[in-house]
Amino acid sequence: MRRSLFCAVLCVSVLVTPGTCCLSKEYELPDGWCCPMCHEGSVVKRDCTPQSGTRCVPCVDGTYMNRPNGLTKCFPCSSCDQGRGLFAKQNCTSTSDTVCDVIAGHFCTDLIEDKECRSASRHSDCKPGHRVKERGTRRTDTTCEPCPAGSFSPEGVNCSLWTTCSENQVEVKGGNLTSDTVCGAASGGLYWLIAVAVVVLVMVLIGTLVGLWIKRRNQENQQQGPGSSVASGEEASACLQESSRLGPQGMLSVPSEEELLPLARLL
Ligand SMILES: *[C@@H]1O[C@H](CO)[C@@H](O)[C@H](O)[C@H]1NC(C)=O
Ligand SMILES: *[C@@H]1O[C@H](CO)[C@@H](O)[C@H](O)[C@H]1NC(C)=O
Ligand SMILES: *[C@@H]1O[C@H](CO)[C@@H](O)[C@H](O)[C@H]1NC(C)=O
């Protein structure tokens, strides 16, 4: 134990805060005496007396003291909150606080004094049609850029060039930023189209011919039949005429050449 009186006078004279009058690694008591500090990992249990030195106690679990001190309480250890994207890189000891670090895939959003991170967030993903320009680090988020022309990215990670359809394929759908070109079998598709078109054409042709033929027959019947007959009579006679044309098997007889000639002229 040592009086700091001489020192205190000196301190006041040079306007230094009280307490600095003890030597380094000493702390000052309220009455102006100086006591030796406790080491890291411990705090003061009892101040020194003229007969004995400072009595210190070690910090208990969950607390620490990282410097020589004249304090009576250890500091509580900080915790690394997983919900804030942090984990304990180094556990708390009696002489040092927990050291938190950013969980993989996260970046620090609240950095203290350029070293300690208080909170972190997940790296963001790039949108489809974009790709990762620079991967995120512990300090920075992902940066993205749009896919270059002629390429696509469905997931927003990498861009791939559009597929070029081969010679015996046709481009069913052009590519865009998010999806590839769609190629189809050229021959197969085309043959189907042609087949359907031919069938439709033939059906239309047959339909037209039959329609024209029936119209022509009706006109002939009108000219031959009794002009004054009522509609129902006309129909009946047309019906008779029609049945007379049916062959023995009940099938329509083939129209004669004279009957088809005006049709051919029409076409
Ligand atoms: C910290 O302590 C916990 C248990 O208390 C242990 O599981 C973990 O591995 C320790 N971490 C380090 C970095 O030593
Ligand atoms: C993206 O490209 C990089 C480098 O070319 C490659 O290492 C990575 O596996 C690719 N990722 C995906 C999801 O295709
Ligand atoms: C790209 O094409 C796909 C399918 O072909 C379609 O679903 C999507 O909407 C298109 N995206 C754009 C941006 O045109």
CA distance 170 to 189: 9
Protein residue closest via CA to atom 7 of ligand 1: 91
Percent of the chain scoring above 90 in pLDDT: 59
**Is the pLDDT assigned to residue 17 strictly greater than 90?**
no
Contact 142, 160 (CB under 8 A): no
Domain hosting residue 242, numbered range: 202-266
CA–centroid distance, 76 to ligand 1, in Å, is 17
57 phi and psi angles, rounded to 5 deg: -125, 145
Ligand nearest to the CA of 176: 3
Domain boundary among 90, 106, 122: 122
pLDDT digits (tens, 9 = 90+) for 204-220: 999 999 999 999 999 88
Beta carbon of 90 within 6 Å of any ligand 1 atom? yes
Q: Tell me: do 67 and 91 sit in the same domain.
A: no
CA–centroid distance, 122 to ligand 3, in Å, is 28
Atom of ligand 1 nearest to the CA of 88: 13
Q: Tell me: do 225 and 262 sit in the same domain.
A: yes
Average pLDDT, the chain: 82
CA distance 87 to 107: 12
Residues 6+ away with beta carbon under 8 Å from 43: 56, 57, 59, 65, 69, 71, 72, 73, 74
pLDDT digits (tens, 9 = 90+) for 91-139: 999 999 999 999 999 999 998 888 788 899 999 999 999 999 999 999 9
CA–centroid distance, 92 to ligand 1, in Å, is 9
Beta carbon of 158 within 6 Å of any ligand 2 atom? yes
Protein residue closest via CA to atom 14 of ligand 3: 176
CA distance 219 to 164: 61
CA distance 249 to 105: 87
Beta carbon of 63 within 6 Å of any ligand 3 atom? no
Beta carbon of 174 within 6 Å of any ligand 3 atom? no
CA distance 178 to 156: 8
CA distance 196 to 263: 27
**Is the pLDDT assigned to residue 1 strictly greater than 80?**
no
CA distance 260 to 9: 139
pLDDT at 55: 97
Q: Tell me: do 111 and 70 sit in the same domain.
A: no
Does residue 161 belong to any structural domain of this protein?
Answer: no
Q: Tell me: do 67 and 101 sit in the same domain.
A: no
CA–centroid distance, 177 to ligand 3, in Å, is 8
Burial of 106 (0-12, 13-18, 19+ CB in 10 A): buried
Ligand nearest to the CA of 128: 3
Query: Higher model confidence: residue 76 or residue 191?
Result: 76
Atom of ligand 3 nearest to the CA of 182: 5
Q: Tell me: do 51 and 86 sit in the same domain.
A: no
Q: Tell me: do 12 and 42 sit in the same domain.
A: yes
Number of domains within the chain: 3
DSSP secondary structure string for all residues of 177-195: SSS--EEEEHHHHHHHHHH
CATH of the domain at 113: 2.10.50.10
Q: Tell me: do 63 and 11 sit in the same domain.
A: yes
